[in-house]
Amino acid sequence: MSSIKPDQKSVEYSKSSLWKTGFARGLIDLISYLIAALYIMPETIIFRTIEILGVLILLFGAGLLAGSIYGISQTQGQSLVMWVLLLVAIVIPIVYYKFQFDSELICENRTREVADQINRYITHKLGMNHMAQVTLRSVFDADLPIFFEHQQYQPAQHMAAFVHEDPSDRIAFDTHWAKLIGSDKILKRSIEHDSELVGHIMSFDMPNEEDGLDREITYWIGHEYWGKGIATQALLQFIEIEQTRPLFGRAATDNLGSIRSMEKCGFALIAHERGFAHARGEEIDEVVMKLE
């Protein structure tokens, strides 16, 4: 057994990086929106003007309706002109409600559309496209097919090592996840990167040698999204939700990326153990990490 102190500098750096990334993106979002609002101001004026004209036409129709009814009453229904005006007065509000639009909603959508274009341009020029905007949310049934596909990538299975006996067994996968979703003792979250589902993370109770329970974490990121810092950011957010301490994590000794992510989040190496890894068909060395 070996132990080290938590990599506190890495934790502080990771949280600082997250804060700076979030602040920078928030500032760019604000600037983009302001520029977009100015850019579409002529369009806004046109939309507002059309809406005002529509209201004036509606008021004119109301006046025409009142006048035509009065005219019909005075002519005892003998004036064809009054009847035509009455018909026009009735048609006006119908046409108005058929073609009316919410100028505020249109302008808002148009502003956001332009703001998104400006935002992408700025982040591209600043080289910020690589920054991961990671969020956690509840797991939905619709997520499961994507999770299953993530786990079919054999190099990922080899790296994770400690997978189910047959990761390609969809029935076993669905049965397993039905138990996970139905259990209140398992905290699970889907991981999104820029609103795209990229993986999942969870914590669960694992029996230990002292007849007690250790709270452990596990996560899986689709291989298409490796190298973006997503695992680290997801884990940093997850340990704010999962308050149990100590919290444990495990990884094959050659799974350096996962080990480094845990170190950045304050996990310390406390032990080396051996276990059978289905993905490799043999016993391998693994590390046990602990977050106090």
Tokens, residue 98: 């058929």
Q: How many CB atoms lie within 10 A of CB 71?
A: 16
Q: What angle do CA 112, 113, 114 make, to 5 degrees?
A: 90
The fold for domain 132-291 equals Aminopeptidase (3.40.630)
Q: What letter represents residue 269's amino acid? A: L
From CA 235, how far away is CA 136, in angstroms rounded?
10
Q: What are the sequence ranges of the domains in the chain? A: 40-100, 132-291
Tokens, residue 257: 């990326």
Full-model pTM: 0.58
Q: Any idea which residue has 């914590």 for tokens?
A: 203
| pLDDT tens, residue order, the chain (292 aa) | 333 344 444 444 445 555 555 566 677 777 877 887 788 788 778 777 877 887 787 788 788 888 888 787 777 777 777 788 778 878 877 777 666 666 666 777 777 777 777 776 776 666 555 455 789 999 999 999 999 999 999 989 999 999 999 999 999 999 999 999 999 999 999 999 888 999 999 999 999 877 789 999 999 999 998 888 889 889 999 999 999 999 999 999 999 989 999 998 899 999 999 999 999 999 999 999 999 9
From CA 141, how far away is CA 253, in angstroms rounded?
33
Q: Which of 195, 120, 179, 156 is nearest to 279 (CA)?
A: 156
Tokens, residue 26: 């928030």
